[in-house]
Structure 1
């Protein structure tokens, strides 16, 4: 059958990509945090197994490399002023934020469980909708 591709074995690392939805500008950079640890979500800077990096703002898929099978969560910050951190005003983000699986954002960041997804047997693409509060 043409067009069908075989899934990779479940135990092999898989490609992980994100697509950002709702960007309000192409200024600055995108801060990405990928973690398998609920204890290090959404700020995974102290997670020894994290993927924490900055990428240019762009349309289309952003490759995050390959990851081992397991449960992950992604936190995204649209760092519009390029200072390498999420700016807030009275605890409210001044820049865009988004999370894998697009959980409802109320007061504070979502739980790891509400943002987590599984990687096993096939490449994963997460469409993350950015939310701007101010």
Structure 2
């Protein structure tokens, strides 16, 4: 009987460890994006969260969460909830005319402010996913994005 209790206790301990590991693997976290560098309060800010390089930074069909929010203060904070643990990248733009599009001039250069997570240097094209990627591995992740205007 004592041996049976020890085996039962060991089995429960192993089951507890298994539950603990699976609970961590299915962790969902929250992301807070602080956006700074807005030139004015016209229009809105649109923030898109991507979970892979496919479609980053502009394919709306590949966005896992997106929010467009009227600008009321600077800097602005936008929150995303219930993101699974993993790598993400964020693209932001200042939609001054509320058309949900990053407007460009005849040469293809953005005429509205834009930015990316990790604030990579932008020269002739948008950054790659890996240059903007960050890890969500806990309950709360905070990032800051400084908008650029050309």
Specify the alignment match of 1:38 in structure 2: 53
Larger Rg: 2
| Equivalent residues in 2 for 1:64-79, closer than 5 Å | 64-79=80-95
String of CA shifts for 1:88-125, please: whole Å, max 9, x gaps: 01111000000000000111100000000000023111
Where 2:57 maps in the other structure, the secondary structure is: coil
Shift of residue 32, structure 1, vs aligned partner:
1.2
Unpaired runs of 5+ residues, structure 2, are 1-23
Tell me: higher relative CO, structure 1 or 2? Use CA pairs within 8 A at least 6 residues apart. 1
Name the CA distance, whole Å, in 2 between partners of 1:24 and 1:10: 41
Conserved? CA contact 1:33–1:44, under 8 Å: no
Where 1:40 maps in the other structure, the secondary structure is: coil
Report the structure, 1 or 2, having the larger helix content. Answer: 2
Report the structure, 1 or 2, having the larger strand content. Answer: 1
TM-score by length of 1: 0.86
Shift of residue 79, structure 1, vs aligned partner:
0.4
Unpaired runs of 5+ residues, structure 1, are 1-8
RMSD, aligned α-carbons: 1.7
TM-score by length of 2: 0.77
Specify the alignment match of 2:118 in structure 1: 101
